[in-house]
Structure 1
Amino acid sequence: MILTFLAFLVASGAAASTGAIFKPGPWYDGLRKPWFTPPDWVFPLAWTTIYLLSAWAATRIAQRPEAGPALAVWAAQIALNTLWTPVFFGAHRMAGGMVVMVLLWCAVVATTLAFWRLDAVAGAMLLPYVVWVCIAAALNWRVWRDNPGAGAR
């Protein structure tokens, strides 16, 4: 079981690594942000918690014989999670980031529901992820809306 957890944690680490590669930087610092933007220190704390909970939830699900479809959706959400940062922070594509964010939100909700059907504890472990992706989507939307023309040219 520990090796399974480590495998899911490595996949989460790949997603997290995009945050180290594509940092917000001066471009993002110069954008207008909404009043509900969390302080910078909240982001790594939130994502670390989410990645640990998500990896543990996936580990719980992986123990079940009927886990295949739920884990396929988990793989889709982690791929979309990995994609958002280079699109938004790397390419400065706020609209593209919003598209990825909507798809990510759908995948996270679908993963949560699929996990919940198999193991309520595993599903509940993803609820902070759902909340955080809602906040991230609202931030992406407002930054895009409030900064016309600030994206990639």
Structure 2
Amino acid sequence: MDIWLFFLFFLATFGAGATGALFPTGEWYKSLNKPTWVPPDWVFPIAWTSIYLLIAFAGARVAGQDGSGYAMAFWGLQIAFNTLWTPVFFGLRGLRESLPVMAMLWLSVLGALVTHWQVDLYAGLAFVPYMIWVTIASALNLSMIRLNPDQEKLELHKI
């Protein structure tokens, strides 16, 4: 694996992760009704740092290998939807609006897992924790909608 390729993929994941700093949870999120099984706040930075390191590793292992075109396309797709979800959910407070983004994220992570696995076993395995985490996040997103049915999204003209 090329360390410079890993660094480039890590920069991409860092860019996606930066949306968490730009759109923090804040008092709005704390005031929402949440399911009893929501992970504690301290779990999120540990989980995301681990996931970002693993998917940077996966991308670097597969990039440039024969037959990696679909894997790279799905890698790009998942990081794009990953980057988009936080501003929609936390920035716009769009619980409902974030669900289609989450669905596309889930599908693109599944696609990345399968296509990376086809090119390199370890790259595919690196996507397994991400797939588990996004599945939990999808259920959490849906639960938040159900538990907060009257939650209005933040209108752009009010920002």
Number of equivalenced pairs? 153
Asked if 1:134 is matched to 2:141, the reply is no
Deviation at 1:152, TM superposition (A): 1.3
Asked if 1:118 is matched to 2:119, the reply is yes
What does 1:1-153 correspond to in 2, within 5 Å?
Answer: 1-152=2-153
Bigger shift: residues 41-50 or 142-151: 142-151
SS of residue in 1 equivalent to 2:149: coil
Identity of aligned residues (%): 46
How big is each residue's C-alpha offset from its partner over 1:82-101, in whole Å with a ceiling of 9 and x where there is no partner?
Answer: 00000000001111111100
Deviation at 1:150, TM superposition (A): 1.4
Give the whole-Å Cα distance in 1 for the aligned partners of 2:123 and 2:140: 27
Letter in 1 for 2:138: A
How big is each residue's C-alpha offset from its partner over 1:26-84, in whole Å with a ceiling of 9 and x where there is no partner?
Answer: 11100000011000000000000000000001111014122122101100000000000
Give the whole-Å Cα distance in 2 for the aligned partners of 1:37 and 1:63: 39
SS of residue in 1 equivalent to 2:152: coil
Give the whole-Å Cα distance in 1 for the aligned partners of 2:149 and 2:79: 29
Deviation at 1:118, TM superposition (A): 0.8
Give the whole-Å Cα distance in 1 for the aligned partners of 2:41 and 2:20: 13
Bigger shift: residues 129-138 or 57-66: 57-66
> What CA RMSD, in Å, does the superposition of the two structures yield over aligned residues?
0.9
> Structure 2 unaligned runs (5+)?
155-159
Letter in 2 for 1:21: L
Bigger shift: residues 143-152 or 71-80: 143-152
How big is each residue's C-alpha offset from its partner over 1:119-150, in whole Å with a ceiling of 9 and x where there is no partner?
Answer: 11110111000000011001100011110111
SS of residue in 2 equivalent to 1:32: coil
> Structure 1 unaligned runs (5+)?
none
Letter in 2 for 1:77: Q
Q: Scaled by the length of structure 2, what TM-score is found?
A: 0.94
Q: Scaled by the length of structure 1, what TM-score is found?
A: 0.97
Q: Which residue of 1 aligns with 2:157?
A: none
Deviation at 1:151, TM superposition (A): 2.8
